[in-house]
Structure 1
Amino acid sequence: MMLARSMRLTAFPAALALLAATTSGALAQKKYDTGATDTEIKVGNIIPYSGPASAYGTIGKTETAYLNMINAQGGINGRKINFISYDDAYSPPKAVEQVRRLVESDEVLVVFNPLGTPSNTAIQKYLNSKKVPQLFVATGATKWNDPKNFPWTIGWQPSYQSEAQIYAKYLLKEKPNARIGVLYQNDDFGKDYLKGFKDGLGAKVSMITIEDSYEIAEPTIDTHVVKLKAANPDVLMIFTTPKFAAQTIKKTAELGWKPLQILANVSVSVGAVMQPAGFDNAQGVLSASYTKDGTDSQWKDDPGMKKWNAFLDKYMPDANRADSSTVYGYGAAQTLVKVLQMCGDDLTRANVMKQAASLKDFTPDTLLPGITINTSPTDFAPISQLQMQRFKGERWERFGEIFSADAVTQ
């Protein structure tokens, strides 16, 4: 009997050792959710390649090219990225249809950098209910930074409200007696800018003498510009998408009206906005930025922009380097690759979100010096810094300090 008990005691540590080895082996195993295998990572995307916001289609083309470059370099931890990008024409119903297709038919791991506030609003509840990452959305609406209620949605660029507050602070300091006209897109995108701007003005919100909204389906914005001019403001806030920004700057000049114009960051593209508006018409326009300008000679020896230029030379030789969408798409895609690299062999959707919320001082090649990406489980706003800039000649010139534009809680 004593012998049998002794044998059991001897066997117990051996069993523990076997259990530990088995558990260790399990931990080392690869973990996959739908959309990931030993050889492939499926990444979905929607963007307006057509319709009123088609200028943004360059972002999707840039991301496609960037991920092709990553695949040519061997992929991510030995896996190639299968990037599936669909046109949603900046239409929320179409966005819902295309995202369902990506999730239910294409079976992607994540939906990356879907563009537009209306489209992302339309798909947010669906993706969160399916527990599919809505990763680094291409819109600065404040609501993407809400990890408690929408743990599967995370932003990328600075919030519109925070950006608009910076403009308000600038005007309160530099033109405290300004009469302000506001032109904004009549949807969540435009209203987010308007709210942030009014919050920034605070007690001096009466500086706004007129505000006017337009619909994205309108072919031209000219009648709105005429209406704003009639109120005679000396500052014009342009909270619009690129097509309408170019029209506004051009029409303002045609009318011989010379207010100080402040332009939303989403419409600062030299190639897609300032050039079509006419460089002469765009002189002195103000905005704020967090990315480098691909046409600015000051970056010719910058290591990050050298990589961007080399990438375009090889993978997008016909790209317009004056189009800031190529800078945006490159930076966003570089952030995606960083997160997928951090995931290692645990390519579950939960781990993708965990790593996306664990970025510390990450600096894509295209961000301005001093601006870094930081996230945490309670902070889903990766970029929260901006610097004022003025259009001069054929390019933007930065001035002043870098503002911290921490997301505003609603």
Structure 2
Amino acid sequence: MRAWKQCGAAVALCAALGAANAQLLIGQTAGFTGQVAAGVKETSDGAKLYLDSVNAKGGVNGQKIEVVALDDKFDPKLAADNARKLIEENNVLALFLNRGTPHTEAIIPLLDKHGVPLVAPSTGAMVLHQPVRKYVFNVRATYQREAEKAMTHLASMGISRIGVVYADDSFGADGLAGAQKGLVAAKITPVLQEKFDRAKPEFTPIAAKLAKADAQAVLIIASGSAVVDANNAIRAAGSAAQIVTLSNNASAGFVKSLGANARGVIVTQVYPNERAVTYPMVKEAQELARAKGLGDISPAMLEGFAAAKVLVEGLKRAGPKPTREKVQVALESLRKFDLGGLEVTYGPDDHTGLGFADLSIVGTDGKFRR
């Protein structure tokens, strides 16, 4: 049985197939096309690695898992519509591994209305951590923690002329708050702090301002192709500023899209080095990837892999006849659950899960180096 079924507009058909073939139906809405497609594919591939291995051994409590995946094209309104279809028409037990901050915010009212848990939204927005969202179970550190760490790292290198460029949405504002914490701690005033239209970004004027300000480094808080376009514009403007971005861009596909401008880009990370086999989770993911002939794993794949481990544990603890409520209660019961070198803990007052944060830099070989 396939662990993943990506559906387009034919939701009714997809629902019928799911009912016929899957006993544990999980829903996913994410930007399989559009500016975050590369990262979404890799996180989904990483999750599929683990779910396939579980299904090959008989599934969970004798029942196999199937993910019904819908493409929201990275549009928050479409994400909410997809979530409604998955919950009300497909009757999924839980939602899983969606992508984007405003997208997750658009889904939350549906989670609350129907009592549906959301496992591992692929976003580190603080709004999903504080206050605690009853049905949202994060499996990664916050963007604020990442951005703050990036700023303190730059300051420790003697870099003081720092610019911050961010999308004009909740994700951009969230990352900016973390960057400001780091800048204040380092007693640095940014040489430029500029937002751009998420829907219609125009980076040429911003790049000119960065070049004029002689910025030594710039944190770009944006997704996928927007960061690529900003990077290209900055280089075209003659600026040699160090480019820094957050872990939502920690995918091999993102590096590839940077092309000749990839080398030296700093990307924050929320999981251990994908080659650090001292972590049992990393070793397990590598072995499963090799067995499927997939080659190297990426940080984005590792995020999906970890997310799938948390989902499966929640399903196991929900028992042989799981309901949405049982899955939610089971997830909240996790205490020091070992992913393989990293522990996840939830409780009524804490749905963060993990706090790991690190930095990486893209090397000459196009791979992330720690």
Choose the corresponding residue for 2:215, options 213, 224, 233. Answer: 233
Deviations 1:306-329 (A, max 9, x none): 4323322445x4x57364322221
SS, match of residue 34 in structure 2: coil
Q: Counterpart of 1:358?
A: 333
Choose the corresponding residue for 2:303, options 328, 332, 354. Answer: 328
- Residue 111 of structure 1: CA displacement? 1.1
| Paired amino acid for 1:215 | D
Q: Counterpart of 2:3?
A: none
Native 8 Å contact 2:242 2:264 kept in 1: yes
SS, match of residue 347 in structure 2: coil
Give the 5 Å matches for 1:60-139: 60-139=44-123
Q: Counterpart of 1:291?
A: 271
Choose the corresponding residue for 1:157, options 126, 140, 159. Answer: 140
- Residue 202 of structure 1: CA displacement? 2.7
Q: Counterpart of 1:30?
A: none
Looking at structure 2, the residues matched to 240 and 320 of structure 1 have their Cα atoms a distance apart, in angstroms, of 28
Q: CA RMSD in A?
A: 2.9
Choose the corresponding residue for 2:350, options 360, 379, 389. Answer: 379
Runs of 5+ consecutive residues of structure 1 not aligned to the other structure? 1-34, 399-410
Q: Counterpart of 1:190?
A: 172
Deviations 1:344-376 (A, max 9, x none): 2362323322222233333435xxx5x432222
Q: Counterpart of 2:194?
A: 212
Looking at structure 2, the residues matched to 188 and 331 of structure 1 have their Cα atoms a distance apart, in angstroms, of 25
Native 8 Å contact 1:45 1:84 kept in 2: yes
Native 8 Å contact 2:210 2:239 kept in 1: no
Choose the corresponding residue for 2:286, options 290, 306, 309. Answer: 309
- Residue 210 of structure 1: CA displacement? 1.0
SS, match of residue 114 in structure 1: coil
Q: 1:363 to 1:247 in 2, by over 3 A?
A: farther
Q: Counterpart of 2:228?
A: 246
Native 8 Å contact 1:67 1:83 kept in 2: no
- Which piece of structure 1 moves more, 205-214 or 119-128? 205-214
Q: Counterpart of 2:319?
A: 344
Q: 1:242 to 1:321 in 2, by over 3 A?
A: farther
- Residue 383 of structure 1: CA displacement? 1.0
Q: 1:138 to 1:242 in 2, by over 3 A?
A: same
Looking at structure 2, the residues matched to 312 and 385 of structure 1 have their Cα atoms a distance apart, in angstroms, of 23
- Residue 293 of structure 1: CA displacement? 4.4
Choose the corresponding residue for 1:272, options 228, 253, 263. Answer: 253
Native 8 Å contact 2:146 2:358 kept in 1: no
Structure of larger gyration radius:
1
Q: 1:147 to 1:234 in 2, by over 3 A?
A: closer
Native 8 Å contact 1:220 1:244 kept in 2: no
Deviations 1:75-133 (A, max 9, x none): 00101112111111111111111111011110111111221111111111221122111
| Paired amino acid for 1:195 | A
Native 8 Å contact 1:60 1:85 kept in 2: no
- Residue 220 of structure 1: CA displacement? 6.5
Q: 1:257 to 1:70 in 2, by over 3 A?
A: same
Which structure's relative contact order is higher, taking Cα pairs within 8 Å and 6+ residues apart?
A: 2
- Residue 170 of structure 1: CA displacement? 2.6
- Which piece of structure 1 moves more, 120-129 or 354-363? 354-363
Looking at structure 1, the residues matched to 227 and 28 of structure 2 have their Cα atoms a distance apart, in angstroms, of 25
Looking at structure 1, the residues matched to 201 and 46 of structure 2 have their Cα atoms a distance apart, in angstroms, of 27
Looking at structure 1, the residues matched to 288 and 354 of structure 2 have their Cα atoms a distance apart, in angstroms, of 23
Q: Counterpart of 2:359?
A: 388
Q: Counterpart of 1:260?
A: 242
Q: 1:302 to 1:122 in 2, by over 3 A?
A: closer
Looking at structure 1, the residues matched to 73 and 98 of structure 2 have their Cα atoms a distance apart, in angstroms, of 12
SS, match of residue 347 in structure 1: coil
- Residue 172 of structure 1: CA displacement? 4.1
Looking at structure 2, the residues matched to 354 and 277 of structure 1 have their Cα atoms a distance apart, in angstroms, of 42
SS, match of residue 207 in structure 1: coil
- Residue 191 of structure 1: CA displacement? 1.0
Deviations 1:128-176 (A, max 9, x none): 122111222111001112465x31122221111122122233344433x
Native 8 Å contact 1:128 1:153 kept in 2: no
Looking at structure 1, the residues matched to 295 and 37 of structure 2 have their Cα atoms a distance apart, in angstroms, of 15
Looking at structure 2, the residues matched to 364 and 355 of structure 1 have their Cα atoms a distance apart, in angstroms, of 16
- Residue 205 of structure 1: CA displacement? 6.6
- Residue 69 of structure 1: CA displacement? 3.1
Native 8 Å contact 1:212 1:228 kept in 2: no
Q: 1:358 to 1:225 in 2, by over 3 A?
A: farther
Native 8 Å contact 2:289 2:295 kept in 1: no
